[in-house]
Structure 1
Amino acid sequence: MREVVTLQFGQQSNYVATHFWNTQESYFTYGADEESPVDHDVHFRPGLGADGNETFMPRTVIYDLKGGFGSMRKINALYDMQDDPVDSSLWSGQPVVHRQQPITPSAYQQSLDAGLAAPELSTSTVKYWSDFSRVYYHPKSIVQLNEFELNSTIMPFEKWHTGEDLFANLDKEHDILDRDLRPFAEESDQMQGLQIITGLDDAWAGFSTRYIERLRDEYGKIPVWVWGVQEPVNGLSREKRILKMTNKARAFAELSSQASLIVPLAVPQVGLPPSIRLDPSSPWHVGALFAAALESTTLYSRLRALGSVNSTSFGTITDLLNVYGKQTIASLSMAVVDPQTQAENRGKKTESALNGRGDDDHEVIAGPDLDDMSAEGSREDSTILDVDLSSPEELDLQSGRRHGRRRAHLFSQILTCRAPPDESDNHQVRGSQRQGEYVRRHRQKVHQLRSTTLFPILDSFPSILRSHDGSAIKDGAALKTSLTTDSSVMNKVRGLRSAVIRYIGVDEREVIGNELAEIAEGYKEGWSSGSDDDDDDL
């Protein structure tokens, strides 16, 4: 077993996670002669329903505000209770029941419940993340925080300290970890890590940061991955943008010492490639884009055929990316790959085996072409994909830094390619003796995972991925993703610090400023000459 327990914090994150869970559910096979390429025990847990039948549900805890769950009930059809809770009440008098008008399930959900063909979803019909959910959750997975209401204008849930204070109050009253997380963690035989999907630029950043601080007290050695979801800023006022950047800066300052890996996720403000058609105002669309990248880049952690836990765990990938122990922020990018182009490109390079094992469905391979590699590890060694989800615009937050940048120094990169098999697969794992000698002399910087398991396109997934002729991709998409640690993070963090430091209270300004400066310094170690001129040009 190599279980992963997921924590979901907030509306934006739950859109991403819903797409993720729908994808995991699609990997299930039900025929006796079929075997799924995915090990379901990693993300799903067995259990018993109210009727005694076996159930299989996600290992996750979902937090959202009042009204954020839409029509989803805490007690679903698999765990429905026949007894009226009023009957077992200690109160012998006549109860008075006040009920709020329930939210009507979407037409998509009603069709799923009735076993009928589901209608096509659109941005106008998806109002909550539960509107397109295809998965049943255990009642313990549903945690509604009634102290705040979704989209409230009176008490908006958008400031760091609001989330921080909410966690402190709830934890003092309930011991949140003991109540919500521990049941899922204790039933895991060999937990490989905790996967946290959280808002990075709103009050959920403060809430999740305090949550992770507690996690470190309880599970000090477990890898903790944080996917930091950010809301598109186009159309927001200057005050709202500053608030979001300030929340993000605080999150970086505190999470960098608590999380094993932090991956910020943001829709690029510049134009997207023709292969992606996205409505940035729709959290359903944005969540789908993030989920496709997240699900693809973590595919290695749940594939059956990869076999060895040590070569496919959260911990191993964290060690590969965090080269000098201070590089916990990684950049995620992705690209939609046309199968014909993919076949041509894959025939151009010869690569060597990373763990000495390959098979027809999945293989872990390593390294770019030998002639392109250098001991310095420049950006030329890495693969640059179409869509950078790591807030690349933050490189321009500092005035006067838009020109003359040097190439970013590459520390490490994890490449994932999921595409149909082609003839070039027959020689992809045959490396030369010269390559083997090079890898022994120099630390490998680029690591690749290749799988023929395509990203499934479900009826709950919007038509945002396009082929070379502009048509929507159906059934399965060939995708590439890269998870990278390089020196560009240094300038991003410096730019963020410069942009927001004046808006942070005097009592916290020095501490947060120093933390961000220390994070930036962590991306100089091992390669920088220490020259001030070099720092400015990077």
Structure 2
Amino acid sequence: MREIVTIQVGELANFVGSHFWNFQDELLGLASDPESDPIFRNNNLNMDVLYRSGETQQGVSTYTPRLLSINFKGSLGSMSSHGTLYNQGSSSRSDSSKTWFGDVDTQRSEPRKRNLFQQTLYEEEAQAEIEDKDIVGSLEETVECWTDFSKSHYRPQTLYELNGLWMDSQDFNNYGAGKDLFSEASRGEEICDKLRFFVEECDHIQGVNFLVDDSGGFSPLAGDFLETMADDYTNVPVLLYSLRSPVAQKKTVINKLHDAVSFSRLSSFCKLFTPIGLPSLRGMKYLNLGDEKPYRSSAVYAAALHSSTLPFRMQHTSSDSTQESNAMDVNTLVQLLTNRGRQNIVAILDSAMPAPTLAAKQLEKTLLTNLQALTPEVAEDVEDNQSVESMCILGALRSEDQEATVSEVRNAVDASYDEQSRPLFCNLSVSRVPLPVPLPFPSIFGNLVGRRGEILSSPASDLMCRGSLDVHSVPVATRWRSSSAVLPFLESRMVNLEKLGIQWGAVGSDVVRTWGFGREELQEMRENLAKMVSELSPHQFLESSDSD
């Protein structure tokens, strides 16, 4: 067994994770449904990579994500911190209250009411009364927490709320806001204990998928957690996804310093760092997203996460398989993207959802031109003959009503490159299983997207947005790139750290000092950033002299 443990830290990370686990839950349901499409019943995926088997105190078998979720107190909405499978009552008084013999005033808030979707999951009398169209229609207005649209069941070890954090989320918007969170009030020990439960039961863990909401105070907590993990699990590779909501932030001095410091620290404790989060997702073809609701934008991020990591749970089959091609593990991906020609741990993630059909008239360059970078601050149309890529394509269609074979997909990808755009090396993984669209998926597809995710020649309806009742599955293409196109991302952080935090008289020097960073530590961060930049453009970059 080659298990993966997933960690979600922060609000956006848990929104993305909720969609991700809904995809997995839908795949499990379709695989066991005798009336589903045979492509789902014979998917050649090993779901034990992500899930663990167990049982409740009553002996009922369970199959739950190997997951640790960390978020604000109260972020679970109507869900208990013990999850949905284990009824463990909590004491009304803590042990410390036993030493107090005076009057005790207990204040209780009303439990949050379940929305229509949750009612159909947990209330038997509601299951026959509520129709799917009512659920889909209500989710846009009722989703406030990531649990509001989650299909999955969770263990008590999965859910961790940051108790005692008396801070509004609006104030939790920079590195300093969370710098002591992990070390205070035994939180670090409690979090590590929960992680240990999942790691120690693995036969042979292949890696950790670590999602972090990197726009504020969750970043230092994640950094401290990763540092502890590096000591405890030395040989376990971490794939880190730095997530940003697609809402443009004003780039203040504090924001720029946060970006530089956060990247420097987080990237030092992972094998591969993937930034995700454009200022806007409005330009994505065939999707009608809007940027204001994390429920919608996180669905796009989650689809890319599902597709790009699918090779980790593919079953190894013969090279002439008609179902899938090129399974790999986490360490193989890391070696591919970081050790071919240059040492670069920062990867660009591109996505196309839905991926275009492979019709003959559309074949030339169609796949590549429809891929859009989800990584911010990257250069476009960069010719880098040292770039390395790992692409994964799910459920590709030959035409509107025909599935493409593995060999057809491979030929289409090969035809998409010309001599200028062809990378030094490209790994391609193919699965004929498309992305299933679960009921609580947001209505983000345009009216040119058909039932199977095919691109229609004329609108399917007058409605601008279509959801899970109209679109049942979609083909998806994703691509990881190790490329000099990421240079703007790195250079902006290096320059901002130098100008705003290190130079004598820098306007942000007092800020980074209050965050706990001395001048020598900042200099070391700057040197590491300079090394990354020079590795990608050794002939263009001249390191400026340190003003010490």
TM-score for the superposition, normalised by structure 1 = 0.78
CA drift of 1:208 comes to 0.3
Distance 1:40 1:338, change over 3 A: closer
Code of the residue aligned with 1:250 in structure 2: it is V
- CA-atom RMSD, angstroms? 3.7
Partner of 2:224: 210
Matched ranges for 1:424-443 at <5 A? 425=405, 427-428=407-408
Distance 1:223 1:35, change over 3 A: same
Correspondent of 1:519 among 529, 540, 543: 529
CA drift of 1:464 comes to 1.8
CA drift of 1:107 comes to 1.9
CA drift of 1:159 comes to 2.3
The answer to whether residue 150 in structure 2 is matched with residue 136 in structure 1 is no
Partner of 2:164: 147
Q: How many equivalent residue pairs?
A: 477
Q: What CA distance in whole angstroms lies between the structure 1 residues aligned with 2:94 and 2:349?
A: 52
The answer to whether residue 294 in structure 2 is matched with residue 314 in structure 1 is no
CA drift of 1:17 comes to 0.2
The answer to whether residue 358 in structure 2 is matched with residue 342 in structure 1 is yes
Partner of 1:391: 376
For the 8 Å contact 1:203–1:247, the answer to whether it is kept is no
Distance 1:274 1:470, change over 3 A: farther
SS in 2 for 1:140: coil
CA distances 1:180-204 after superposition (whole Å, capped 9, x unpaired): 1101001111111011110122111
Distance 1:486 1:54, change over 3 A: same
Matched ranges for 1:87-166 at <5 A? 97-114=106-123, 115-116=127-128, 117-118=131-132, 119-120=135-136, 121-148=138-165, 151-152=168-169, 156-166=171-181
For the 8 Å contact 2:207–2:237, the answer to whether it is kept is yes
CA drift of 1:12 comes to 0.8
Partner of 1:51: 58
Code of the residue aligned with 1:123 in structure 2: it is E
Structure 2: tracts of 5 or more residues without a match: 320-324, 412-421, 450-454, 461-465, 501-507
Greater shift, 85-94 or 273-282, is seen at: 85-94
Partner of 1:490: 487
CA drift of 1:255 comes to 2.4
Distance 1:282 1:337, change over 3 A: closer
SS in 2 for 1:263: strand
Distance 1:496 1:296, change over 3 A: same
For the 8 Å contact 1:333–1:388, the answer to whether it is kept is yes
Correspondent of 2:432 among 448, 452, 455: 452
CA distances 1:459-503 after superposition (whole Å, capped 9, x unpaired): 211122342446536011111111111012223211233245413
Partner of 2:267: 256
SS in 1 for 2:165: strand
Q: What CA distance in whole angstroms lies between the structure 2 residues aligned with 1:145 and 1:268?
A: 28
Partner of 1:464: 444
For the 8 Å contact 1:383–1:482, the answer to whether it is kept is no
CA distances 1:111-170 after superposition (whole Å, capped 9, x unpaired): 2223344411443221111110111100111111122257445xx222213322111224
Distance 1:531 1:177, change over 3 A: same
For the 8 Å contact 2:386–2:424, the answer to whether it is kept is no
Matched ranges for 1:260-279 at <5 A? 260-269=271-280, 271-279=282-290
SS in 2 for 1:333: strand
Distance 1:497 1:475, change over 3 A: same
Q: What CA distance in whole angstroms lies between the structure 1 residues aligned with 2:388 and 2:258?
A: 28
SS in 2 for 1:390: coil
SS in 2 for 1:135: coil
CA distances 1:225-245 after superposition (whole Å, capped 9, x unpaired): 1111112343x4454xx4333
Code of the residue aligned with 2:445 in structure 1: it is L
Partner of 1:27: 27
Correspondent of 1:244 among 236, 239, 255: 255
CA drift of 1:246 comes to 2.4
Code of the residue aligned with 1:289 in structure 2: it is V
Code of the residue aligned with 2:442 in structure 1: it is P
Code of the residue aligned with 1:390 in structure 2: it is T
Greater shift, 203-212 or 144-153, is seen at: 144-153
CA drift of 1:303 comes to 2.0
Code of the residue aligned with 1:521 in structure 2: it is K
Code of the residue aligned with 2:388 in structure 1: it is S
Partner of 1:439: none
Code of the residue aligned with 1:180 in structure 2: it is K
Report the identity percentage: 24
Q: What CA distance in whole angstroms lies between the structure 1 residues aligned with 2:298 and 2:316?
A: 29
CA drift of 1:66 comes to 1.3
SS in 1 for 2:85: helix
CA distances 1:83-136 after superposition (whole Å, capped 9, x unpaired): 785799997999875322222222211122233444114432211111101111
Q: What CA distance in whole angstroms lies between the structure 2 residues aligned with 1:517 and 1:344?
A: 50
TM-score for the superposition, normalised by structure 2 = 0.77
Distance 1:108 1:181, change over 3 A: same
Partner of 2:343: 326
For the 8 Å contact 2:8–2:17, the answer to whether it is kept is yes
SS in 1 for 2:24: helix
